Amino acid sequence: MIIRQITIIGTGLIGGSLARAIRVKGFHGRIVGCDEAPILARARKYKVIDAGDTSPHEAILGSQVVVLATPVGSIIDLVKQIGGSLQSQTLLTDVGSTKYEIMKAAAGVMGKKAPQHFLGTHPMAGREQGGLANVDPKLFRDAAWFVTPFENQNIEEGICAEWLGWIEAIGARIARIDPEQHDRLCAWISHVPQMISTALAAALVEEFGDELPLLEAGGRALREMTRISASPYSMWRDIALTNKKNLGDALLQIEQKIAHIRENLSTLQLKEEFERAHHLKKVPSSE
> Do 131 and 198 belong to one domain?
no
pLDDT confidence tier of residue 88, bands split at 50, 70 and 90: confident
Domain, as residue range, for 62: 5-177
Strands 118-123 and 144-148 come out as antiparallel
> Do 166 and 186 belong to one domain?
no
| 177, 198, 219 - which closes a domain | 177
The answer for residues whose C-beta is within 8 angstroms of residue 110's C-beta and 6 or more apart is 83, 84, 117, 118
pLDDT, tens only, 122-173: 999 977 777 888 899 999 999 999 999 999 899 999 999 999 999 999 999 9
> Do 141 and 204 belong to one domain?
no
Distances (CA, A) of 277 to 6, 78, 139, 194, 196: 44, 41, 29, 19, 17
**Is residue 283 in a domain?**
no
31-36-40 Cα angle (round to 5): 40
Query: CA 31 to CA 59: how far, in whole Å?
Result: 10
What number is the average pLDDT over the span 93-115?
A: 97
> Crossing angle, helix 100-110 and helix 72-82, to 10 degrees?
10
User: Which residue, among 50, 59, 6, has the nearest Cα to 170 in the 3D structure?
Assistant: 6
| 177, 199, 216 - which closes a domain | 177
In the chain, % helix, strand, coil (3-state, to 5) comes to: 55, 10, 30
Whole-number pLDDT of residue 250: 98
**Is residue 45 in a domain?**
yes
The domain that contains 35 carries what CATH number? 3.40.50.720
pLDDT confidence tier of residue 1, bands split at 50, 70 and 90: low
> Do 167 and 115 belong to one domain?
yes
> Do 173 and 187 belong to one domain?
no
Query: CA 10 to CA 31: how far, in whole Å?
Result: 12
Tell me which of 218 and 69 has the higher pLDDT.
69
The domain that contains 230 carries what CATH number? 1.10.3660.10
> Do 173 and 186 belong to one domain?
no
- Report the mean per-residue pLDDT for the chain: 94
pTM above 0.85, yes or no: yes
User: Which residue, among 22, 39, 87, 55, has the nearest Cα to 31 in the 3D structure?
Assistant: 22
Whole-number pLDDT of residue 284: 56
